[in-house]
Amino acid sequence: MCYTQFLDADGTASGELPDFARDAQELRAMYRLMVTTRLLDRRAVSLQRTGQLGTYASGLGQEAIGTAAGFALRDEDILIPAYRDYAAQFKRGVPLQNVLLYWAGDERGMAYEREPARHDFPLSVPIATQVPHAIGVAYAIRLRRQPRVVLACCGDGATSKGDFYEAISCAKVWDLPIVFLVSNNQWAISMPVARQTGAQTLAQKAIAGGMPGEQVDGNDVLATRHVLARAIARARDGGGPSLVEALTYRLHDHTTADDARRYRAEDEVQAAWARCPIKRYKAWLEAQGHWDAAAEGALAAEAAAEVEAAARAYLGQPADPPEAIFDSLYAELPRALRWQREQVRARGPLGDGH
């Protein structure tokens, strides 16, 4: 199984780097996105710990994959995310505060207004069920002869589910322009990959679907962007679907409601921190002369301000009026439901605490 890595855990490069690695501005933009995503993640956890956010699924340690995906996609492409692909969503115009809004329990967190996020799917909580939507989306693209690609994201646990198999089994039949991106963070809550499947890799599941599959170091943002961009270009050029397994590690608990110490050893987590995607990328950028302490200081301040503004925007946004639960249910509220809406409206705003 093909495995691509350019940057090792220390940020030492090997192999022939892709063209985009010569564009310093672009490289810095990728770094900024990774750092901002991590800061927002930390803020989300602290908001949850202080009772100001609901259960939150952290993407800690997986920032490189989302960043790579965000930079590999074109605006006209369509992202179908799972629920830790925040960096890709941010790149495509989802405001930071939308993630906070969503995990606070507010549907408006998924009402993306800016293109291209506006035509993307919202994150998906049920496991793998969003993956086969890509078949219909890509079929529509083909029907309309559009040069667009669908990136369908899921995690390692999702590859155990029928929805995943039903999608990868038929994508090649129609040679659909889809890239299946499996973020293998090694843990599906308490279940390690070795207990999900007897397959040696998740990428090899592509073979059953008759499409190419490959692995990439998902903590190496250069390699991941390169591999995804290549797969996306192939799909766009009529070469059909493929599957990319990005190897990473879930550094946080599954969610803030989880305690991973119950099922995994702390030394494993410590060892994974040594492979942190941000640390290695920063070391490489510095070695290339693209980054320095002054730039780091400036970014830290900018990102902190941006995250703080997002947190303030979220905290300052009151909940919708209660009757909003009816207002997007159907294109037009059916007559039979109008009395229910009126009952909710007449009871007035909800009190504090709920």
Partner 1 sequence: MPDLTLIEAVNLAMHSEMARDGDVVVLGEDIGRNGGVFRATVGLLDKFGPERVIDTPLAETLVAAMAIGLSTQGLRPVAEIQFSGFLYPCVDQVVNHAARYRNRTRGRMSCPLVIRAPNGGGIHAPEHHSESLETTFAHMPGLRVVAPSTPARAYGLLLAAIRDPDPVVFLEPTRCYRLFKQPVEDDGEALPLDACFVDREGGDLTLVSWGAMMHDTRQAADRLAEEGIAAEVIDVATLKPLDMDTILASVAKTGRCVIVQEAARAGGWASEISANLAEHGLLSLFAPVMRVSGYDTVMPLARLERAYLPDVERILAEVRKVFEIAPKS
* Number of chain positions touching partner 1 (CB under 8 A): 37
Q: Is 195 assigned a catalytic role?
A: no
Could you say whether residue 127 binds partner 1 (CB under 8 A)?
no
For the record, the structure tokens of 220 come out as 């190496």
CA distance 82 to 301: 30
User: Token pair 């090997």 is at which residue?
Assistant: 14
Kindly name the residue from 118, 263, 312, 347 that is annotated as catalytic.
Answer: 263
Kindly name the residue from 38, 148, 250, 275 that is annotated as catalytic.
Answer: 250
- The interface region with partner 1, picked from 16-24, 134-142, 202-210, 283-291 by CB under 8 A, is 134-142
Q: Is 330 assigned a catalytic role?
A: no
Which of 15, 105, 126, 297 lies at the binding interface for partner 1 (CB under 8 A)?
126
Kindly name the residue from 38, 254, 275, 280 that is annotated as catalytic.
Answer: 254
CA distance 213 to 224: 14
* Closest alpha carbon to 131 in 212, 214, 243: 243
**What is the footprint of partner 1 within residues 229-268 (CB under 8 A)?**
none
* Closest alpha carbon to 183 in 85, 39, 264, 256: 85
Which of 56, 103, 112, 314 lies at the binding interface for partner 1 (CB under 8 A)?
112
3-state secondary structure 201-233: CCCCHHHHCCCCEEEEECCCHHHHHHHHHHHHH
* Closest alpha carbon to 179 in 158, 206, 207: 206
Which of 9, 170, 207, 315 lies at the binding interface for partner 1 (CB under 8 A)?
170
Provide the CA 353 distance to its chain's centre, in angstroms.
31
Min CB(129)–partner 1 separation in Å: 6
Provide the CA 171 distance to its chain's centre, in angstroms.
21
For the record, the structure tokens of 296 come out as 């780091």
Min CB(116)–partner 1 separation in Å: 13
Could you say whether residue 208 binds partner 1 (CB under 8 A)?
no
**What is the footprint of partner 1 within residues 320-349 (CB under 8 A)?**
328-331, 334-337
- Residues within the interface to partner 1 (CB under 8 A): 107-108, 110-112, 118, 121-122, 126, 129-130, 132-141, 143, 162-163, 166-167, 169-170, 173, 328-331, 334-337
Indicate which residues carry an active-site annotation: 250, 254, 263
